[in-house]
Amino acid sequence: MAQYAFTLLLGINFLFADVFIVSYQAQVKDSQILHQSLLASKAMTTPPKNIIKTQTLLLDKTCKKAQFFICYEEKVLDFMFKEGVYIKAQDQTQNLVNQSSFIQLNLPPQYLQVEFNDTFVKMALLK
């Protein structure tokens, strides 16, 4: 009963939140970043209802709502990486000497619900 009430209250809190689909990809070759992209777009489909985890983020910059993912990219990625990220690595070695290495980090598209307030933002990862 208490868990149902908590879920109901959590759902009411996020009633006026925006839902985004967020993905991230980075490629590193020989310790230098070749490509890095964070893609965030407003969801145009019905998002899932299950909330995996939530986090409150205090706003410390004067950043417009449209630039939220640019200003707080690192904090949003830290929040999402805890749920799961894919890493693909390749090393090329000749005569026991490492010639080159290639690492690809991929965060698949996930639904992120964001409620904007004056001094803080509530984020919820949906599945």
- pLDDT digits 0-9 by tens, 5-35: 334 344 444 556 899 999 999 999 988 999 9
Please tell me the pTM assigned to this model. Answer: 0.78
119 SS3 class? coil
CB 3 within 8 A of CB 11: no
What is the spatial distance between Cα 76 and Cα 55, in angstroms, rounded to a whole number?
10
- pLDDT digits 0-9 by tens, 33-46: 999 999 999 999 88
Residue range 83-97: mean pLDDT, rounded: 86
25 exposed, middle or buried (CB, 10 Å; 0-12, 13-18, 19+)? middle
> For residue 53, which of 111, 107, 2, 117 has the smallest C-alpha distance?
111
Indicate if the pLDDT at residue 4 is higher than 60.
Answer: no
The pLDDT mean for the chain works out to: 84
Residue range 54-74: mean pLDDT, rounded: 87
Q: How far is CA 54 from CA 29, 95, 96, 125, in A?
A: 34, 49, 46, 6
Residue type at 16?
Answer: F
Q: How far is CA 27 from CA 2, 23, 55, 77, in A?
A: 45, 14, 28, 16
